[in-house]
Every structure is written in C-alpha cells, then in structure tokens.
Structure 1
C-alpha cells in the first residue's frame, strides 16, 4: 500500500492585531514583542482517498487534527528570537501526536547579530541540539504593499533549496536520494548532475517593527515578517503584542547532543532506513 501523502496547504485565517504601545512611539533599546502565527492545513489523500467516503475522510482529518491545525509563537527583541509551537491534545484520543512529533520543528532560537540558530529536536526519545548558521536567504525586495491588520507590509521573494527548509522532516524519498548521492560519489560511476529542488518563498514584512525576525527559517528582512508563503504553505500572524507587561526569557536551548542540520538530516534518514530494513527481515 502506498503511504498517504500529506500535502500541507495552510489557509489564511481571520486575524486581529493588538498592541500595547502605539506605533508612533520610538522603539526602545530593550523592547520585546510576541507574534502569534496560525495555520490550517488540508489533507491530500491522493488516489487512495478517492476510494473513501466523505465520512471516512472527515474521520481521518479529525484524527490528524494536531498536524492540520497549528499555532506558533515568536518572541523577539532586537537581536534574538525564540519560535515555538503550541502543543495541542489529539481531538480523539486526548494524547499528543507522538509520530508527528518526531518530524516536527522543535523550539528554535535565532540570533541575527551572531548569525546563529539553535534548535531543539527530539527523535524517538533522543534529544538533539541542532546548532548551525542561519539559513542564507537572497531576498528580492519589491515595492508592492498590502495591509495586514494595522500594519503596512512590503513584499519580498526568494528561492531557497527545499531541503534547507525541511531539514528536520523525513520522507521515504530521502532514502532513495541518499542512495543516489552515494552512488554518484563512487569512482566508477558516471558523472551525474543532481538537480536541487527550489522552493519559491513570498514574504510580507512591516517596517513599523524594524527587526530582522520571522517565523520558522525565515528572517533577514528590514522588518518583522507577518506573513510568509512557501510552496503550498502559508503562515500568517494573527496577533501581535509589543512590549508586554511580563517579559519572557529569550534563551537558546541547551540540552541534547550537538549536531548540524546536515548531520541531523543524515541521522534520521539512516535511522528510518534501519527501521525499514529490520521490518523487512522480520517479515522474511
């Protein structure tokens, strides 16, 4: 049976912006903000889903609610940010999505001054501390604008290698790609040109909040990113609070085995290949 393919398509939701300070006030040297991003995903079941009734499709969507509906919080100051997902309980069982957790983004710390990123990842109970440089993004800034809440936003676009955006996830095609790369490195093989899949990214940022932060891997624009679309995924800021009365600590995660993004991807791919091989031997 072919695996069900999850294709995330995040829909723009109704949003409301609130701020504890007016925009006209100068930005304090030690200010802090909280940006809440919301997403809603649809599930594409492919040809397998064509054989399902509407009731069955709704049941599957209910069971996968944790993966299809997500909320994120970005806490930031001038130089640092921490990006976290709000964990929800499964709508049916009341438990967290343990399988999806293995391939979901963990707490992510970014420092735009030192060009560093530290991300906490858990893979089948083992803790990793992924330390690397910030994703390099060659933004092309345009003059097009639109209003998001109370903020005037400018458009920017970029092309980013897809593997750099989903380095913490896994698909079975990763195993095949790894095998192909290994074969291309052998002396006897013919020289092969491997195409690098690129994802087109569209971001909307506001100069009214002059920080270089944004959700997930996105950053580096001259204002806070309030909306970003990459492929079939869109993240939208639903609420923004500047200078809250209670400040939050913005600190990098510290627990876990230190590793780079590339080595982390290699680690989980090899482990999943091992799981599949062991399952095949048991069946044999």
Structure 2
C-alpha cells in the first residue's frame, strides 16, 4: 500500500473503499488465502469498530496510517491474529501472539461434541492447552464445571494465564508435561472428560508461512507421522478418566485411522470413533474409558 506521510491533508486520504481494494490486491499478491476478509478485519481493527460497521466508517490520518502498517505486516505473512492481538474462538476473543499456537476454527467442532456430552458438574481436563481455547470455551458455556488446563511452555503459559484471568478466573492452570504421570496426580480416575489439541503435524508436511514462521514448532510438529505425543496423551487420559469418562483428541487429516487404532491398542478405551470436519476430512477422535482397572497396566 501507499505509505502515508504525516502531513497528508485529510482531503487527500484514500476513501475506505479504495483503501480496502488496494489492500486486498496487496494481500492477494502476497499469497494470503483470504485477502478481502483479512483486509476488512485489519481495517476494522485500525478504526476500532466491528467489521460490520465498515460500510459507514471512514479513514482519518491516524487510522489510515495504522491500516497501512497492518496491511504491510500481513503482506509479509505475519499472522492476522498477531497483528490484531486476538483470535476469535467459539464466541470468545482470545489474546494471542508470539509463543502460543493460534486456535483454529476446526477445533470448535470438538468443543461442540464435548459440550453436548458434559453435565453441569463435570470435571474436565484440557491437555496441551496453549492459549486455553478449548478449556475456556467449556468453562464459559458451562460455568459450574471444574476445568483444568495443562501446559508446559513458559511462553504459552503467559498467554494462557492472561486469557484465564480475563475470561474464566475459576479455571485452574497447571504447569506440567502431558507425559509426566505426576501431573494432576490427585485427579487419577476422577475426571469426566479429557480434551486435547496436541501437536500432530508430520515433520515433512507442507504448512503455511504463518505456521512455519510464527506458530511455536513444538505446538505444531510431532515426528515423522505426527503421532509422537499421542501415546503420552492416551496414557494421561487413561490415568485421569473415571470408568465411562470421555476422551477427544484433535488430529491431522492423515491420522483418521492411525490414531483410533492407537487408542484401541491401549486396551483402555471403548467406543473409539473418528469424526470429520465440515470439509469431510478426518479431524478428531473420541473414545470412552473402559471398565475400571489399574491404569498402569497394559498402557503404551
């Protein structure tokens, strides 16, 4: 976009309509997947108005300069959410930025599955919580549930704690590794549902620039087949869940058969199913904790 000088007269500023058209062309040329949508969201952020109010909005010098700055950043493939400082998820506005995985719309499908099966007094654990998207979606829709977030990354924990404080302070943030059997040791066999959006992308899979350069690598990739962390997630879920408790794990679209097979192989889960997203791609697996037994026996 054209760089605005500080002394640009107000009557020489571009109209919002022409600025949006220019921004859309700039973002499209940079390879941004949704150039018009991103341009409108950036304009709304620069103006401090909802996107729906752009039709009646106009640019002043300050907003025009800020919009130009934001568009330049997005054209350099800085994630939209890093530029605005927030990511929408299931009706929430989550604070995000460097060091934390930006939640995706597809994960909302797993949240819907969970909410349809949770009771008001349920105890829920969100493993690999990141920004807290899943946990906070549950906690704000079912305010009498007990919700725990488990996260090990110090960078992600800063964002997680901020989101919890702002949106649902009763949620408990637990610092720990999903592979550590001591994490939430007091809840062994006492949890009604475990939810998890772990790193699951195969190392060789192509990803967008925004993912490759800005999402934390440890929150995205998980070995050659993307399944490196899944045994630890299955083990943690089997330890925490009561008999009959439910598990849901998001996964890569190449894992629609391999992850359910892994869960069945533990011998601790029944009713293992895989679920597809709105595009028909395998997206998350669910299971029910089987009959009570010593959780340590026979696990991966």
Superposition TM-score tier, normalisation by shorter sequence: under 0.3
Q: Which entry has the higher C-alpha Rg, 1 or 2?
A: 2
Structure ranking higher in strand proportion: 1
Q: Which has the higher helix share?
A: 2
Relative contact order higher in (CA < 8 Å, ≥ 6 apart): 1
TM-score (norm 1): 0.25
